[in-house]
Amino acid sequence: MDFAKLVEIFDRNNVTFVSVTQSFNTTTSMGRLTLNILLSFAQFEREVIGERIRDKFAASRKRGMWMGGFVPLGYDVKDRKLVVNESEAKTVRMIFERFVSLGSASKLARALQVEGVTNKRGRRIDKGFIYKLINNRVYIGEAVHKGTAYPGEHAAIISKDLWDGLHTMLQRSPRVRRAENRSTSEALLKGLIFSNSGAAMTPTYTRKGDRLYHYYISMDAIQNRTTLADAGPARLSAAMVDGAVIAEMRRMIATPEVAARVIQTFKQEGTCLDERAIVEALTRFNDLWASLFPAEQARITRLLVSRVTVGPAGIAVDLRHQGIGSLVRDLTTTHTQEVAA
């Protein structure tokens, strides 16, 4: 135990200290003087050690070194340095890009929970986690110490342009962003559509008279960034793109290969659904789509589509085949409830 703390305990209990091997006695004035001098030097030594540790920590952070703590999503620690975890880094980039497109942490959190995206500890991602992530400067290759950012030793995951664009958007009033979200609620592909350069395409609209015309516009165009020649158009009609994606989803669901894959998956899971019910559910999709509310159409789109890329040659749709199983469960449940009613 620290001698100073020991003396404090003695004082609280009215105990005096007498050394048998040394001339030290707190019952005398000289002994108390000696004790106070020793305690002062002990306190001085503790403070000097603390200052040295803090100075060493600050100097290391200024050199961009990783000084321990909770490892952020997208990185691992090897040899006391942050190294990029590529699979997690894709999730980090996706969150940044989709936040720019959606403009809402709440909506993004709900979408990520539906898709089963988790943080580094395997827990569901919530709104608070998203705000911490998008404000963490480690993702642009910086180390922060007491509010000051320094170049880090680790590699960046997010480009500075994406960071600046997102934080420019955050500077706007939340009320303004909520109004923009409401005005773009008809955009089916919010958070899913990107240009060929990798820039997110965010939904927007123009008004002519009483009519709204919806578009997707590239963040390159919004931020006035120079784009590659093969990046694709900076602005596209939402109706045209949404129609192409819906047609691709319908084409995929109508193929016999998809029905066979779903049946095989359900057999492996031990799900009690007969093959005829699965085929009927997939066949019923085309008729059901037109009767769905926009929010439900958007939910199904996120089940079936992982990414839409727009380039000079056209539109590429990356589909989630594993999402079809969830869709079939929904369709068969709905059909059973309708029959029972």
Q: Tell me the average pLDDT across 213-221.
A: 82
**Residues 327-339, mean pLDDT to the nearest whole number:** 55
* Cα 77 to Cα 83: distance, rounded to the nearest angstrom: 6
pLDDT of residue 133: 93
* Region 199-227 average pLDDT: 77
Render pLDDT for 49-79 as a digit per residue (tens, 0 to 9): 777 766 665 565 555 566 567 888 999 888 7
Contact predicate 13/4, CB 8 Å = no
Other beta carbons within 10 Å of 234: 19
Encode pLDDT of 120-139 as tens digits.
Answer: 888 888 888 999 999 988 89
Taken in order 177, 242, 250, 294, the sign of the CA dihedral is positive
Q: What is the pLDDT of residue 134?
A: 92
Query: Which of 91-95, 215-219, 266-270, 314-318 is predicted least confidently?
Result: 266-270
pLDDT at 330: 66
pLDDT digits (tens, 9 = 90+) for 76-112: 888 778 888 999 999 999 999 888 877 778 878 888 8
Query: Worst-scoring range by mean pLDDT, 187-196, 259-268, 303-312?
Result: 259-268
CA dist 89 and 96 (Å) reads 11
For 43, residues 6+ apart whose C-beta sits below 8 A from its C-beta are 4
Q: Is 265 helix (H, G, I), strand (E, B) or coil?
A: helix
CA dist 217 and 221 (Å) reads 7
Q: CB burial class (10 A; 0-12, 13-18, 19+) of residue 91?
A: buried
Write down all domains in the chain, each with its CATH number in brackets: 3-62 (no CATH), 72-183 (3.90.1750.20), 186-341 (no CATH)
Question: What's the rounded Cα separation, in Å, for the pair 108 and 158?
Answer: 18
97 vs 88: CA distance, rounded Å? 14
In 3D, which of 185, 190, 189, 197 has the Cα closest to residue 221?
Answer: 197
Report the C-alpha gap between 180 and 294 in whole angstroms.
Answer: 17
Alpha-helical regions (H) of the chain: 3-12, 29-62, 86-102, 105-115, 127-134, 160-170, 174-183, 219-222, 238-254, 256-269, 275-283, 285-289, 294-304, 323-340
Please answer whether residues 225 and 218 qualify as being in contact, where contact means their C-beta atoms are separated by less than 8 angstroms. no
Percent of the chain scoring above 70 in pLDDT: 75
* The pair of three-digit structure tokens given for residue 230, joined into one six-digit string: 């093969």
Please give the mean pLDDT across all residues of the chain: 76
Q: Which tokens hold the place of 100?
A: 């720019």
Reported as a single tens digit per residue, the pLDDT across 72-82 is 899 988 877 88
Q: What tokens does 214 get? A: 């919806």
Q: What is the pLDDT of residue 85?
A: 92
Output the pLDDT for position 73.
92
**47 token code pair:** 């403070």
Alpha carbons 203 and 185: distance in angstroms, whole number: 9
pLDDT value at position 339?
Answer: 38
CA distance readout (Å), 310 to 92, 218, 247: 21, 10, 16
